[in-house]
Amino acid sequence: MSSKEKNSVTILTESQLSSRAFKDEAYEFYKELRKSQPLYPLSLGALGKGWLISRYDDAIHLLKNEKLKKNYENVFTAKEKRPALLKNEESLTKHMLNSDPPDHNRLRTLVQKAFTHRMILQLEDKIQHIADSLLDKVQPNKFMNLVDDFAFPLPIIVISEMLGIPLEDRQKFRVWSQAIIDFSDAPERLQENDHLLGEFVEYLESLVRKKRSEPAGDLISALIQAESEGTQLSTEELYSMIMLLIVAGHETTVNLITNMTYALMCHGDQFEKLRQQPDLMNSAIEEALRFHSPVELTTIRWTAEPFILHGQEIKRKDVIIISLASANRDEKIFPNADIFDIERKNNRHIAFGHGNHFCLGAQLARLEAKIAISTLLRRCPNIQLKGEKKQMKWKGNFLMRALEELPLSF
């Protein structure tokens, strides 16, 4: 999107927000929005009218605003209820990310024990073993595509083992995850995604049948037990929760590991500083989360009650989408916001969200990134980008900031 096009655009569409061209220039575009149009109009097809939020303070306020709902049934009457865009929508959307209190609290409670600080620390040795095993495979080649060879398999192996699902199915999860996070109302894309989500539902049905007959000490077995008790989890919520844990359990971390490595490759001084001072790793991870936020845009929030923001009435049923990536580059909050600084102080980024829906797996993602990057730098001290920075391509994706690949030599 050129500067001229930016100035002439009055409404953004979801296809524009999802495009590679937008991802390439998004930070400059967000900078202009924060200055002049912090509330920017969106056209979201069947979902209706929406607004894009770009400033940090607005993001913090709205992420906690009780007038915004994640479950559209808490906004629309039965007559207003929109038709399902996908046949399999009901089986995959009844999870905590799309729920409001008290349902959200009930659903989150069912899984949060698996993500406590103590439970996460118990995974440290396992994650380290996985990281070393993955590098063992590629190190003799002195080359790898970080995404396929390291950043994707590490978190998907971890979450698969936590959930108790076969590792050999992880490539299927990758395809299904993309179908879920690839928001689009284009008819051909809807049809393709619905087919893939149908496959995912069939897989979950088969998986649950096996777990019912052979329960184990994994998270899915625990969720099935809650569903069988009939009061804590419905069947649709069970399938939706498993889907969410598979997708959210790896997507953010894949991008965190990849984007952080990319930022280090593009900022040699910071890369060298981290190599010389490994105790800066935690600070570097927080800066990577801020600088290239793995989740660029939040999922949809619906306006349940009208309110005024920046002199504009936000009407009931309007959609609110918050750019975490923009909020995390807000100059009023982060001095030298466009500078990647692994020693940044008071880094109040919101890469994992804020409020009720703060990412449940944030601690796990941080630990996985810490082990992954530390192991990479220790075992491959001469690592460097293979190719030029301009050759690296951001995926065309609505929700995520993700590189298609990251070729590295060492």
Query: pLDDT at residue 91 above 90?
Result: no
| Residue 397: domain span | 3-409
| Residues 386, 409 contacting (CB under 8 angstroms) | yes
pLDDT (tens digit, 9 = 90+) per residue, 192-219? 878 888 899 899 999 999 999 999 999 9
Give the rounded percent of residues in the chain with a pLDDT score beyond 70.
Answer: 93
The pLDDT value recorded for residue 14 is 87
| Residues 208, 239 contacting (CB under 8 angstroms) | yes
The pLDDT value recorded for residue 5 is 43
| Residues 63, 353 contacting (CB under 8 angstroms) | yes
Placement of tokens 């655009």 in the chain: 9
Confidence band for 148, pLDDT divided at 50, 70 and 90: very high
| Residues 354, 345 contacting (CB under 8 angstroms) | no
| Residues 320, 54 contacting (CB under 8 angstroms) | no
User: What percent helix, strand, coil does the chain show, rounded to 5?
Assistant: 55, 10, 35
Query: pLDDT at residue 390 above 50?
Result: yes
Token output for 163: 């959930």
Nearest by Cα to 49 from 85, 13, 16: 13
**C-alpha–C-alpha distance, residues 202 and 146, integer Å:** 31
Backbone φ and ψ of 340, nearest 5°: -85, 110
Least confident segment among 20-34, 102-116, 342-356: 102-116
**C-alpha–C-alpha distance, residues 94 and 103, integer Å:** 10
Sheet-wide strand order for 384-385 = 143-145, 407-409, 384-385
| Residues 404, 33 contacting (CB under 8 angstroms) | no
Give mean pLDDT, residues 18-38: 95
| pTM metric for this prediction | 0.92
Mean pLDDT for all residues in the chain = 91
Confidence band for 10, pLDDT divided at 50, 70 and 90: confident
**C-alpha–C-alpha distance, residues 156 and 24, integer Å:** 27
| CA R_g for the chain | 21
Listed in sequence order, the residues at least 6 apart from 133 whose beta carbon sits closer than 8 Å to its beta carbon are none
What's the angle, vertex CA 261, arms to CA 257 and CA 266, rounded to 5? Answer: 150
| Residues 320, 51 contacting (CB under 8 angstroms) | yes
Nearest by Cα to 261 from 123, 386, 132: 386
The helix or strand, by DSSP H or E, that contains position 357, with its residue range, turns out to be none
SS3 65: coil
**C-alpha–C-alpha distance, residues 246 and 159, integer Å:** 7
CATH number for the domain spanning 209: value is 1.10.630.10
Give mean pLDDT, residues 317-324: 97
The pLDDT value recorded for residue 227 is 75
The pLDDT value recorded for residue 315 is 97
Token output for 240: 């939706």
The pLDDT value recorded for residue 2 is 44
| Residues 395, 23 contacting (CB under 8 angstroms) | yes
The helix or strand, by DSSP H or E, that contains position 40, with its residue range, turns out to be strand 39-43
Query: pLDDT at residue 186 above 60?
Result: yes
pLDDT (tens digit, 9 = 90+) per residue, 220-251? 999 988 876 666 788 888 999 999 998 988 99
Q: How many CB atoms lie within 10 A of CB 400?
A: 22
Cα dist. 141→138, 149, 184, 265, 388 in Å? Answer: 5, 12, 39, 20, 20
Per the structure, how many domains does the chain have?
A: 1
Could you tell me the end-to-end alpha-carbon distance of the chain, in angstroms, rounded to an integer? 35
**C-alpha–C-alpha distance, residues 405 and 397, integer Å:** 14
**What distance lies between CA 251 and its chain's CA centroid?**
6
Burial class (CB in 10 A: 0-12, 13-18, 19+), 299: middle
Query: pLDDT at residue 88 above 80?
Result: no
**C-alpha–C-alpha distance, residues 55 and 329, integer Å:** 9
Backbone φ and ψ of 4, nearest 5°: -65, -40
Placement of tokens 């649709």 in the chain: 236
Exposure string (b/e) for 90-123, b if CB count within 10 Å is 16 or more? ebbbbbbbbbbeebbebbbebbeebbeeeebeeb
Token output for 401: 């900031």
